[in-house]
Structure 1
Amino acid sequence: MAIPGDKTAVEWLVSAAPDPDACRWQWERNPLGVALLPAGRRWDVLILPGELGRPTLDVLRLLLDRPGPVLADFGDSRLGFFVPAGTASRWLGTGVRGAGRGAWIVAPYPGRATGGVRWLVLPDGEGTLTDPAVLELAMHEAAARALAKEGRRS
């Protein structure tokens, strides 16, 4: 089922590819519905472990009208938050991997179901990304909530 704005999201995503037309052609015909897209051009991706990424996304949704795109892998074991290009090379957070210049990400076709990677927050097609400072605050809040929850169980 297509979601309104899918074509705009597609155009924005393929604009990062070295050859957007070839990328779009291949992506639309790939039976898995995924494409490899270069990080570090229009965005970087910060990859959090699922146990931190899911609650971080919950906090982001409270803080922002609309966070930037977020990917989840199969089983939600990792979540990828799209942030401005250059962020990955400056990020110092422990346990957070960064995909920046020279890295490639697997991205599903917007609005199309895949068996693995999927969008938790679809790109809006306008280039909205999550501010790294806001993402860091959301991560701290999510971690604090998890610690408080653990404390109540003890």
Structure 2
Amino acid sequence: MTGAKTAVEWLASVAPDPDACRWEWERNPLGVALLPAGRAWDVLILPGELGYPTLDVVTRILARPGPVLVDFGDARMGFLVPPGTAGRWVGKGIRTVGAGTWIVVPYPGRSTGGVRWLVPPDGSGTLTDPALLELAMHEAAAGLAMDGDRDRDG
């Protein structure tokens, strides 16, 4: 199986009817599906201005982070994390998507006009560790604060 096909199987496995999901997904001109969070993953949604530097930190630490989504306009980034993370997350300014919610998921390997993968799933089930993600967010936020101080000092 190719990486994209394996990723499709992994993502569709959370749908109430995986076969119907794959069928619709592959034929949907938008290339997206609505999938339930909380089964194989939760999603932590960061503002883009924090998300990109956070992803930079994560990729310096890990050779292969978990999947990362970005919305149209790069305003928000969604890091796929283990199920249950959303219910335990206490960080401010971070939206959580867990059990009982659904997310728009683009078909892996296909370009869409809206939500897209920055780090596509590889089908292995690799997710970003939430503790590592939190540390990366702190480092990214500290870097942003330092940049802001330099801009003011001039």
TM-score band (shorter)? over 0.9
Which of structure 1's runs of 4+ aligned residues deviate more than 4 A?
A: none
CA distance, structure 2, for counterparts of residue 14 and residue 41 of structure 1: 11
Secondary structure of residue in 2 paired with 1:107: strand
**Residue 92 (1) aligns with residue 90 (2):** yes
Match of 1:136 among 131, 134, 137: 134
Query: Which residues of structure 1 form unaligned runs of 5+?
Result: none
Match of 2:39 among 16, 36, 41: 41
CA distance, structure 1, for counterparts of residue 7 and residue 109 of structure 2: 9
Q: Which residue in 2 is equivalent to 1:23?
A: 21
Query: Which residues of structure 2 form unaligned runs of 5+?
Result: none
Q: How many equivalent residue pairs?
A: 151
For residue 15 of structure 1, report the CA deviation from its aligned partner: 0.7
Cα deviation code 1:91-150 (max 9, x no counterpart): 001010111000000000001010000000000100000000000000000000001111
CA distance, structure 2, for counterparts of residue 28 and residue 49 of structure 1: 29
**Residue 101 (1) aligns with residue 99 (2):** yes
For residue 18 of structure 1, report the CA deviation from its aligned partner: 1.1
CA distance, structure 2, for counterparts of residue 30 and residue 80 of structure 1: 22
Residue 104 of structure 1 aligns with an amino acid whose one-letter code is: W
CA distance, structure 2, for counterparts of residue 115 and residue 150 of structure 1: 32
CA distance, structure 1, for counterparts of residue 13 and residue 112 of structure 2: 22
For residue 41 of structure 1, report the CA deviation from its aligned partner: 0.3
For residue 75 of structure 1, report the CA deviation from its aligned partner: 0.6
Q: TM-score, normalised by structure 2?
A: 0.96
Cα deviation code 1:10-52 (max 9, x no counterpart): 0110011111001000100101000000000000000011111
Secondary structure of residue in 2 paired with 1:79: strand
User: Identity across aligned pairs (percent)?
Assistant: 74
Secondary structure of residue in 2 paired with 1:129: coil
Cα deviation code 1:61-117 (max 9, x no counterpart): 001111100000001100000000000010001010111000000000001010000
